[in-house]
Amino acid sequence: MQLPLTTFIAEERTVADWNSIRTLLIDSDDSEHWKLVFDDYFFARLKSRYLNPIESIKQHSRCKGEGFSIMTIICSLIEFLETTYRGKNYRYVRKGDKPLRDFEYSSSSEIFRSFLTSHKPSSIETIVYRDDFYDALIQYIHNYQNDLLSYTERKSAFLRKFDRLCEE
């Protein structure tokens, strides 16, 4: 069931806004529409839920353990990035539930493994320095924009992910 139309899904964008723009995106290769969606939905959501909070913590850091909070947000960011890239959505599975469908997952470890092996930024080494890791993720986000504008599979995955964000 869809969330109320006034529910915000990305900064100032609501479920109603998504429903409107979505009709323009289906079967569209219009790069202007996709650039708009990347900026107004995807990147706006990343900024408000992940990037701005990380920057805020970094600005007020006193080297008293803030790195743990930053890495926690980064882990959540990785899950969102990879599931958007793949168009997958989380579903909690109990005994006796129906099996997962093609675009569902129930274990974050699979998502992390996939991201770190498929999209391994060159600056990430065995030892993770949070600032280098963060910078590598920002670079990944820019690369993802190019993929989104270029590949039908990425567009379909994006639609699946944002459709699910609009559901209860």
pLDDT tens per residue, range 36-79: 999 999 999 999 999 999 999 988 877 777 888 888 999 999 99
- Picking from 21-25, 130-134, 137-141, which range would have the lowest pLDDT averaged per residue? 130-134
* DSSP type of residue 90: E
CB–CB of 38/47 below 8 Å? no
Q: Specify the number of domains making up the chain.
A: 1
The helix-helix angle for 52-59 and 66-86 (nearest 10°) equals: 160
> 23 burial class (0-12, 13-18, 19+ CB within 10 angstroms)?
exposed
Q: What residues contact residue 18 under an 8 Å CB cut-off, 6+ apart?
A: 9, 41, 162, 165, 166
Specify if 135 maps to a domain: yes
Specify if 54 maps to a domain: yes
**Residue-wise pLDDT tens digits, 143-158:** 999 999 999 999 999 9
Residue 156 structural domain? 8-165
Specify if 60 maps to a domain: yes
Region 76-97: what's the mean pLDDT?
Answer: 94
Region 114-135: what's the mean pLDDT?
Answer: 71
Specify if 105 maps to a domain: yes
